[in-house]
Structure 1
Amino acid sequence: MKKSADRAGTGGRRAAFPLLTALAMAAAWGRPLHAGDRPQMGARFHRNMVSAETGLPERFDPVAGEGVLWQADLGSETHSTPVIASGRVFIGTNNGRPRDPRREGDRGVLMCFNETDGAFRWQLVVPKITTSRFWDWPRAGICSPATVEGDRVYIVSNRGEVMCLDIDGLADGNDGPYRDEARHATPAGEPVLPLSPQDADILWLFDMIGELGVRQHDSAHCSILLDGPFLYVNTSNGVDDTHKRIDAPDAPSLIVLEKTTGRLVARDVERIGPRIFHSTWSSPMLAEVDGQRRIYFAGGDGVLYGFKALREPPPPGTVPPLERVWRFDPDPTAPKENVHQYNSNRRISPTNIKSIPVFHDGRIYLTGGGDLWWGKNESWLWCIDPRGTGDVTGTALLWKRRLGNHTMATPAVADGMVFAADCDGVLHCFDAVSGEPLWTFKANGAFWASPFIADGRVYAATRRGYVYVFALAREQRLLHSVKLDSPVSATPVAANGRLYLASMRRLYALGAR
């Protein structure tokens, strides 16, 4: 294939003319110039849940059809946030409502739709891990968001496989080098079905369970961080079925793959495994600090690590360790040894971090605390100084603020405010510099999805299916609220002048016609 080379080959003068034309047309017509695609979860590198999009709807009612440009059926459960790139929308879901009647039963699914009209293009269908339900939770589907660059789609499947997919699926043929898609889509012991143009085209696959001995728990979850030729991936290593043992204590928590081949080029050697309380579900973030590009990653042990970003691939056949240059423990008095004895202890337990660290104005914002299912009833928002080297636990905390009993949502920061949501159903607004509490709002339902800031508004959605729209302001101003057809785990997203909301069962594209 030459699609990537063709798309990247335009010269500076050729690329500048359409941009200048678009600027002139936008000025002449008085219309907003949209910020563009949203090819990964969160803003590029820094992971902030913000967008520069304008012209987004303030009021809408997807169930009634108000403000809906198109809607598409998903499975019966959707825990993945949509990404929008190259004229397509990608979202992970399950197979609760099969698009392909030949492939019935519980599966992980990644669906691809047209950005313009929501027409279905193709899907990746992945059989479940059958070892036990705690490897690949029933009906959870593919929980990881995709990351897109050019004509390549990167995803972590429900089976812990890092995949590179052709953005066009099999509609333009099987491009290889991987050519066993038919067998891959078929559960063990069942007859292999022929592929169709609406199936995914897998270019390469890296099996983290088979290659690294990872023991994922409940499901794999990672928003892959793409930096130049490299993919930074959380392995989702976690506890066994008893929730009191780590089967893979020496397996890495963070790995780096070469994006063109899937070759393993680096891994952490922090031996986080024995201290993982439940599982590892956070995703890496990149920031430049003290003149050094660093990867910040929240391990399953509740510690935030800073690694040097790779500059070039290592020699073939070598897998060097990631160089840790920084370490911050946001909950230093929590148990650190024999951590699984605190399972189900709602007063004392290790901290678990499910959100993504966010870098903004030289600071890191992070949420975490006791595990929702097995840990203590405490959670916090931390503001952290990312500078320095070594163990900075005693010096890097700028401030922390108590949230509800538990939190899983990534914070969003803009205009001197930071927004954090918790599983008690409270949206918090703090001053981003001082941490001063500004306001709170008690929603109908728990927040699993992250708050999202765009066009002077804050969008937030709950597990009871309610969506709230607030003014981006230091005083609480609720502008709109509406109930969707089903619960929401996915974070709202904006791209190219549209707002995207995904409930458990439907994907909505909202905007002005």
Structure 2
Amino acid sequence: MKYHSPCNLSAGVGLAIIICSAVFLLSCTGKAVTEAPPPKIEPPKPPPTMSFWLGSPERNFYGTGPWKDGQLKIVWEVKTGFISGRFHKDPWGGTSWPGQPSVEGDFVYFPSADGNTYCIRRDDGSVVWKFQAKDSMKATPVIVGDRIIDSGLDHHVYCLNKKDGTLIWDYETGFEVDGSVVVVDDKLYFGGEDHSLYCLTLADGKLVYKIPDVGSIEGSITYKDGRIYVSTEQFYLYCFNAADGKVIWKSLIGADSDSTPAVAGGLVYTAAEDGVVRAYNQEDGKLAWQYTTEGGHYGRGSESIGIWASPIFSDGKIYIGASDGYLHCLSADKGELIWRFKARGPIWGTAPVIDGRVVFGDKAGWIHMLSAEDGKEISEIKIGDNINSTPAVLDGKIYIGAFNGHLYCLEPDLSIPEPSPTVAPVIRKRRR
């Protein structure tokens, strides 16, 4: 008789059990038993960047938190130069309207009234490079791959090497280009104060088309779903087909408008120098509603009553500052006032909303941080004599310039004592 060792016997019994179990599972499920697939590992998402005016071609990315607790403090500041020219008898310095910095990786890029586009380090504000133009630079630098696009008062659009600021190409227009460009699918779109809408190739700055006689365009254009939306000095809001520059519709605003339109929820929002905020139907340009700020008057514009800021859409609300010194929060669907906050001076810069907080500067030189929900002030700090520009916010840090020639980095800090409240929001019933 053949002898079987206990080990061989045990192994055979174990194998039989495994086979029977597999057969049982197969008969019950109708599927072969296989090992579970390995867990799917998502590749890390690239860090957010502020690479356009208001963050994107759609002008709807306002920055990122998280916010620290505490009062605002200056982390660092960098001093730029000053310039005098044909439009500024008194020297200009720092960032002027609209002048929002761009932020990517370890670097901040910003236009300066001294005629330079700067690249500085985010951690300490030290200058990496600067590009000298012929007059003040005003537009937000656009970051596209290894390139920077910027423009200003000297009639030129410049394409620079992001690494060292050397010139790749430049395109000369007929007058100033204050607004920031949009780049989509290797095409570059912008408006000029020579009354024209432009489309260039990103690669070499060659003209694709130029639409003349549109009206002077001082603000930035908005691109959404193949359409371009832009306000003009000649009282009109336009909607263009981006592919060929043909007009889809145009609507009368009633006053000079420098605002960048906001497009959301089927409406196009803009504002004008008569102190009126307006919303239009996105498809046909028909007026949906309008809201008049304090002192505003249809068709009559002035620095004392006008709006130079751009509307911000967030969570069903519109946020916008005005020369009346108030930051207004409106319902986006009807234009009814939800709350308004009285700043220390007129508000020309745009007020982005990030993680439930509104951040903006005023012409008295103060930076304000409010609750987006009810307009209550969280913190304020004086950094200069005049702030016309718009803050860029990334990772809970604020980058903004003032007319004193400085660019600042700020953030909240618990070690800063909370001041006694001196300015409070004014809450009113909703109205048209």
Q: Distance in 2 between matches of 1:55 and 1:72?
A: 23
Instruction: Give the alignment partner of residue 72 of structure 1, picking from 58, 74, 78.
Output: 78
Find the counterpart in structure 2 of residue 268 from structure 1.
211
Aligned to 1:303: 236
Per-residue deviation at 1:496? 3.6
- Are 1:206 and 2:165 an aligned pair? no
Q: Is it true that 1:225 corresponds to 2:182 in the alignment? A: yes
Q: Tell me how far apart the structure 1 counterparts of residues 384 and 53 of structure 2 sit (CA, whole Å).
A: 23
Q: Given the alignment of the two structures, is residue 486 of structure 1 paired with residue 385 of structure 2, yes or no?
A: yes
1:231 aligned partner, one-letter code: L
CA drift of 1:59 comes to 2.0
Which residue of structure 1 aligns with residue 360 of structure 2?
A: 460
Instruction: Assess, with a 3 A threshold, how the Cα gap between structure 1 residues 116 and 151 changes in structure 2: closer, same or farther.
Output: farther
Residue of structure 2 in register with 1:398 after alignment: 288
Structure with greater Cα Rg: 2
Distance 1:58 1:222 in 2: 34
- RMSD of Structure 2 on Structure 1 (CA): 2.2
2:159 and 2:412 map into 1 onto residues whose CA distance is 34
Q: TM-score, normalised by structure 2?
A: 0.76
The equivalent residue for 1:257 is: 200
Q: Which amino acid aligns with 1:150?
A: G
Cα separation, 2, equivalents of 1:463 and 1:49: 25
| Aligned equivalent of 2:398 | 499
When residues 327 and 284 of structure 1 are mapped into structure 2, their CA distance, relative to the original with a 3 A threshold, is: same
Name 2:222's counterpart in structure 1: 285
Mean alpha-carbon deviation: is it higher for 416-425 or for 257-266?
A: 416-425
| Residues 232 and 258, structure 2, Cα contact 8 Å, conserved in 1 | no
Q: What per-residue deviation string (whole Å, max 9, x for no partner) do you get for residues 316-344 of structure 1?
A: xxxxx62111212122xxxxxxxxxxxxx
Q: C-alpha distance in 2, partners of 1:303/1:49?
A: 25
Identify unmatched segments of 5+ residues in structure 1. 1-14, 23-34, 63-67, 96-107, 129-140, 170-199, 209-213, 238-251, 311-320, 332-350, 370-377
Q: Could you tell me which of 128, 153, 172 is aligned with 2:148?
A: 153
Residue deviations 1:98-124 (CA, integer Å, cap 9, x gap): xxxxxxxxxx11111022332211111
Q: TM-score, with normalisation over the residues of structure 1?
A: 0.64
Which residue of structure 2 aligns with residue 326 of structure 1? 249
1:260-314 alpha-carbon deviations (Å, 9 max, x no partner): 0100001214x23xxx5xx4302110112xxxx211121231211111122xxxx
Give distance in 2, aligned partners of 1:53 and 1:234.
32
Task: Give the 3 Å change call, closer, same or farther, for CA 470–148 of structure 1 in structure 2.
Answer: same
In structure 2, give the amino acid aligned to 1:385.
N
After TM superposition, the structure 1 = structure 2 runs for residues 109-508 of structure 1, keeping only pairs within 5 Å, are 109-128=116-135, 141-169=136-164, 200-208=165-173, 214=174, 216=175, 219-237=176-194, 252-269=195-212, 271-272=213-214, 276=215, 279-288=216-225, 293-310=226-243, 322-331=245-254, 351-369=255-273, 378-388=274-284, 392=285, 396-403=286-293, 404=296, 405-473=305-373, 475-504=374-403, 505-508=405-408
8 Å contact kept, 1:233–1:254: yes
Aligned-pair identity (%): 22
Q: CA deviation at 1:228?
A: 1.2
Unaligned runs of 5+ in 2: 1-40, 83-92, 297-304, 414-432
Which of 10, 13, 18 in structure 1 is aligned with 2:44?
18
Contact 1:41 1:47 in 2 (8 A): yes
Report the CA distance between 1:382 and its aligned residue: 0.7
| Other-structure match for 1:241 | none
Which protein has the bigger strand share? 2
User: Aligned equivalents of 2:131 and 2:145: distance in 1?
Assistant: 18
Relative to structure 1, the CA distance from residue 503 to residue 470 in structure 2 (aligned partners, 3 Å threshold; closer, same or farther) is same
- Structure 1 distance, partners of 2:211, 2:145, is 28
Alignment length (residue pairs): 350
Which AA in structure 2 matches 1:89? V
